[in-house]
Structure 1
Amino acid sequence: MNIIISTIIVSFVIALVLGIFLGIFQRLFYVPVDPKIQVIRSYLSGGNCGGCGFAGCDDFAKAVAEGRASADGCLAGGKSVAEKIGKILGVEVDAETKVSVIACRGTKDCAKNKGMYLGLKSCMAAKISIGGTKMCNFGCIGFGDCEKVCTFGAIKIKEDGLPVIDYSKCTGCAKCVSACPNGLLTLIPAESKGAIALCSNKTKDKTSILKKCKNGCIKCGKCEKNCPENAIRLTDGLPVVDYFKCTSCGTCVEGCPTHVLVLKEELSSIK
């Protein structure tokens, strides 16, 4: 019995001494934290998506407070977060919210496969091993590398083999953009208008396009010829729009024989 009591007393004394020493060390080595860091961090999503170029939200908040990152660096937060951070720093921020869009309409029904692929179910693996699974080497491979990296659950692979983006969830963090081996995903301003081409086929062999994908851009040039504002040019075989001239009239969209061109403001309705 005495041994038990003695053990309890000794343990209590040791714990007390260690507690005192820890308290002393904490005071000696205490590093004050800039209150701005904590406030900035509270405005961030906490997704740690890496779109800002830093390891996570904590690192980004510290970098902004120390002047190593700009107030609009949080792509996931968009304009609203940038403006809040700007107020803390006392600077004006001209930021815009961006969302991701995929430049491909090559579904399973219209884009032919090269054959049966038995490798790793990864777009990057298929791209490296056989140049992609489809006859069109520029098209979406469809294994969902973009879906896997999306921290916010904004991308889902549909039954037709193409990713669909939920614009109510997309934050423009750009992780999907980096994950796509064919470079099909890109960021556009969420509130922008004008026509955009949802095809990335840059082949010069026009006769082979529809044989590989019925939804591909056939390089007919009707969009360029019919644009009343002279806002479209075929560059590397694809329509490129000058948004300073484009009025979003829809003439190019209506005249596109394979429905490659759509208006940005109508993207959310594309399923």
Structure 2
Amino acid sequence: MGILNLTGKIAVVTGGGSGIGKAVAKVFAKQGAIVHILDLSLPGGEAVVDEIKAEGGIAYAHACDVSNQQQVSAIFNHIGMVNLLVNNAGIAHVGRADNTTEEDFTRVFNINVKGVYNCLHAALPIMKANGGGAILNLSSIGAVVGIADRFAYSMSKGAVHGMTLSTARDYLAEGIRCNSISPARVHTPFVDGFIAKNYPGKEDEMFDKLSKSQPIGRMGNPEEIANLILYLCSDEASFITGCDYHIDGGFIKLNN
């Protein structure tokens, strides 16, 4: 299988039933990992498992609300061994500080921040007991640049940056690496649903506008994101920890 070989590794991918998480689950399985998909939608997770099995891979699906610590802990205890963790599950939100409701703010926090914490809290003792591991958190360009009307979402992804750095620093001696990536817009069903909900009747116009906000002229695709995650979770990236990688079509550095 050559480089980026994950044979024998047990991986957990949250939000693995669609979009970026689905692409990660599939490429991990293709490279030999045994993949456990955690998703709020069990049918979505099972559909990805079926695709992986059809391609000769090994995968399992678990219904999980990552904001519920008891659920998360029970599933990680059931899995028993985790070498790789990809914290991908998350939601978006449109709003400024003065028009974001407390309910919406709390919901974004519970899924995007507490959800990452819950999975770290469950996975780290397992990794410590078994000689190490690799963790990849999904952040966003919204954590490092100002994006209009994304107050709660940007807050949550800034927190992911902080948790990534703390985790990387605290577990150096245990052989656990932790990195994050910050994508710009990626074309997933999530994005299509987001546009349909927030810009009804203007879907094509908004898709074109959002695509062109990346200097490269398009959105990313989930497989491009998954390939970077594969590298950062592989043994080839064993000297990399505490880093965030922009995968953004030039959005941060070239938008001037």
TM-score, structure 1 as length reference: 0.26
Rg larger for: 1
Which has the bigger relative contact order, CA under 8 A and spacing at least 6? 2
TM-score, structure 2 as length reference: 0.27
